[in-house]
Amino acid sequence: MLLIEILPNKCDFCGCCVGVCPEDAIELKEAEIKIDETLCTNCSKCVWACPIEVLKFNKEKLGNRKII
């Protein structure tokens, strides 16, 4: 399950997240960003690299499930 959330209308399309993503899970066009949930491992590296707090690791989405 994808736990990385892209906050709407905030992205500047700068590419920091793509540059650090080990799974090549992020697709970035001129003004469009998407995370491929079949590739993403929720490692959060993109969250730490984003200069303007667009990406968020969404714990709530987990509910009371655990990541194994």
Partner 1 sequence: MKNEYDVIVVGGGPAGSMAARFAAEQGASVLMMEKDRDIGYPVRCGEAVSKAGIEEFIEPNEVFISTIIDKFGMISPDGTEVVIPLEQIGYILERRVFDYELAKQAASYGAEIVTRAYVNGLIIENGKVCGVKYEYKGEQLELRAKVVIAADGVESRIGRWAGIKTHIDFRDMESCTQVTAANIDVDPNTLLFYFGKDVAPEGYFWIFPKRNKSANIGLGVSGAIGKKKSSQAYLNKFMDEHYPNAPVLTRIAGGVPSSITLEKISAPGIILVGDAARQVNPLSGGGIVSGMIGGKIGGTIVGEAIKQNNLNHILTYDKAWASRLGKRHEIFNRIKNGIYNFSDEQFNSIAHAVSKVPMEKRSLGNLFKTALLNKPSLLLDIAKVFLIK
CB of 30 to ligand SF4, least distance (A): 11
Instruction: Name the DSSP class of 62.
Output: G
Residues 5-64 that bind partner 1 (CB under 8 A): 12, 14-16, 18-22, 24, 27-30, 45, 48-53
Chain position carrying tokens 């969404």: 58
Residues 30-59 that bind ligand SF4 (CB under 6 A): 33, 35, 40-46, 49-50, 52, 54-55
| CB 42 within 8 Å of CB 5 | no
CA 26/CA 18 separation, integer angstroms: 6
CA 64/CA 34 separation, integer angstroms: 26
Q: Which residues bind ligand SF4 (CB under 6 A)?
A: 4, 11-17, 21, 23, 25-26, 28, 33, 35, 40-46, 49-50, 52, 54-55
